[in-house]
Chain A
Amino acid sequence: MNQVVFIELINPFKDKVFRLAKRLLTSTEEAEDATQEVMVKLWNKKDNLDAYNNIEAVAMTMTKNYCLDQLKSKRADNLKIVHNNFTDRQPQLDKKIEDADSLEWVEKIIGQLPEQLQILIQLRDVEQYEFEEIAKIVNMNETAIRVALSRARKKIRESMVNTHSYGIK
């Protein structure tokens, strides 16, 4: 397998890997590093890639594990990544500030969820994977995923409603 074929192979899910990494690691730079790491790992395994029937799921699983490892080692160092420490490259301020503000709220609320729920929200609500695929990536059964996802969504709703009606009720 040469580079061109490999790039074509990873192109469809490269951004999904990046977004999952960003969801868990928060900073764009860390997420880029993680994406590169995962892709290079895949590239090194390129001769055995045919053995996997779903490379995307493998890549997502690798990403998930890599990011959780990263978080673990960061925590061991007593270092927590705070979003404000990193510059955001996306120009957001040209949008309506109020909109951006409430979207940021959602991001914060999701960021407060346990990592497992963050992963599920990312895979289902953002990337729109089928439950069957998510089951492969996170190695859980579909019912458990549905239950956990429902819990995550309700938590988001609860926090949103609280924020939305803050000071009114």
Chain B
Amino acid sequence: MELNKIENILEKYFQGETSIAEENELKEYFSSPNVAQHLKQYQPIFGYFSQVKEQKMTQEIPLQTKKRKVAWLSIAASIVILLGIGAFYYVSDNSTDNVVAKSELGTYDNPEEALAATQKALALLSNNVNVGIESVHYIKEYEQSKNKIFKQ
């Protein structure tokens, strides 16, 4: 009975019509010690299938350690850059404070005094500008004489 069943499954197996469960049954039968004599020739086939399935991948899979390095590198680089920018602002902030503190010119509390000081400063400025403009008059004279010659 048992043997009949195995023979049936075996026939189906070679037709490619067995299910996984039936194939497992065959594997089990052929791995047992009491295999019928006339079926002994199939034993290595199923033995082989079971044996091969035991093979394992032994090597580690290298998962782009390079990429990880790049990631760490970029993190380190950005920290350095941030520190650099931070330090720059920190130092330069301090120094501008100092310049302002040093060049503090004071202020006037009295509006009249402030007006006078401003007028004085503006007069100084316009005097200097006038000195500059005086030399422009020479150019005007030069142009006049040029016009005489070329008779416009």
**A and B, one complex?**
yes
Residue in A closest to B56 when the chains form the complex, CB atoms: A15
Whether A154 pairs with B17 at a CB distance below 8 angstroms is no
CA distance A15 to B52 in the complex (A): 11
| Nearest CB of B to A117, in Å | 11
List CB contacts (< 8 Å) of B34-81 with chain A: 40-45, 47-49, 51-53, 55-59, 61-64
Q: Interface majority SS on B: helix, strand, loop or mixed?
A: helix
- Is A128 within 8 A of B55, CB to CB? no
Are B53 and A127 in touch, CB under 8 angstroms? yes
Residues of A within 8 A of B52 (CB): 19, 107, 126
- Return the contact of A32 from the options B44, B45, B51, B57 (Cβ within 8 A): B57
Q: Majority SS of interface residues in chain A?
A: helix
Contacts A125-B23, A147-B16, A149-B16 given: A106-B48 contact, CB under 8 Å?
Answer: yes
Judge if A66 is at the interface, Cβ distance under 8 Å.
no
Task: Identify the stretch in A38-46, A51-59, A70-78, A79-87 within 8 Å (CB) of chain B at 4 or more residues.
Answer: A38-46
Per a CB cutoff under 8 Å, which of A110, A125, A160 touches B42?
A: A160
CA of A22 to CA of B59, assembled, Å: 14
On whether the beta carbons of A126 and B42 are closer than 8 Å, the reply is: no
A126 to B53, CA, bound (A): 6
Say yes or no: A36-B14 contact (C-beta < 8 A), given A14-B57, A157-B45: no
Q: Are A146 and B16 in contact (CB under 8 A)?
A: yes
The answer, yes or no, to whether A161 is at the interface (CB within 8 Å) is yes
Contact of B57 among A35, A146, A147 (CB under 8 A): A35
- Report B-chain residues with C-beta under 8 Å of the C-beta of A106: 44-45, 47-48
When the two chains form their complex, are residues B45 and A160 in contact, meaning their CB atoms are under 8 A apart? yes
Partner of B59, one of A32, A44, A110, A147: A32
Contact B15 A160 (CB under 8 A): no
B20 sits at the interface (CB 8 A): yes
A157 cross-chain contacts in B, Cβ below 8 A: 14, 42, 45
Q: How far is the CB of B145 from chain A (nearest CB, A)?
A: 83
| Bound Cα distance from A90 to B14, whole angstroms | 30
Q: Which of B24, B45, B51, B57 sits near A156, CB closer than 8 Å?
A: B45
Chain A: residues with CB nearer than 8 A to chain B? 3, 6-7, 10, 14-15, 17-19, 22, 32, 35-36, 39-40, 43-44, 89-90, 99, 102-103, 105-107, 110, 125-128, 130, 145-150, 153-154, 156-157, 160-161, 164-165
